[in-house]
Amino acid sequence: MGSTEKLYFYPLWLRIWHGFNALGIIVLIISGLSMQSSIDTPVIGFNLVVKLHNIAGIIVTLSYLCYFIGNMVSGNGRFYLVKFKGFLNRLIKQSVYYSWGMFHGWDYPFPLSAKRKFNPLQQFIYVMVMYLVVPVVIITGIALLFPEIIIDNVYGISGVFVTAILHSAMGFFISVFLVIHLYVASIGKSPLENFKSIISGWHHI
């Protein structure tokens, strides 16, 4: 029976951020869906839902700033640096593994190491979500909080309407990402192995 290597992938600051961000995102999704329906529930009124959404948005914005700065000043940022040479081939190879090879006993194509915390597909998606989608959600959220800063018309369409649609679309994308993220996190020696890692900081290879 071989020995198990442990890598300290999740420092304390990253685990704290992950907790605040996860809680904030969940509140944003639930309150956002409630706001879309415009239904006043007997338990929580619509106005309170809006306030909860705004507060959660502020928390996620501040936590994102901490995450961004943390990646800049710590070694965690290096895991998001994409090497473009051969990247598409690596992306396809990882996708084939997830869709077929994983269910047929194939070896993991890109084993994790001290230099690689994400496989190519994870890296691509995390970069897209954390450095494109989330900033767009934050910027459009701030704009909707202060609609006077939004351009009145965009090609004859209300600027507020375009901003709201973009905000909702990116929010939906994050919702889908969350479901996939939880599913992929359950893949391992056991369904709870990766969840234990984000709590302890140590990832078992």
pTM confidence score:
0.87
Q: What is the pLDDT along the chain (205 residues), one digit of tens a residue?
A: 445 688 899 999 999 999 999 999 999 999 988 887 755 555 567 888 889 999 999 999 999 999 999 999 998 999 999 999 999 999 999 999 999 999 998 999 999 888 999 999 999 999 999 999 999 999 999 999 999 988 888 788 898 999 999 999 999 999 999 999 998 888 877 778 888 888 999 988 7
Instruction: Give the C-alpha separation, 73 to 16, whole Å.
Output: 16
CATH code, residues 6-204: 1.20.950
Q: What residue segments make up the domains of the chain, in order of their start? A: 6-204
Query: Is-contact 78 116, C-beta < 8 A?
Result: no
Alpha helices (runs of H) in 38-158, residue ranges in sequence order = 46-73, 87-99, 120-128, 134-145
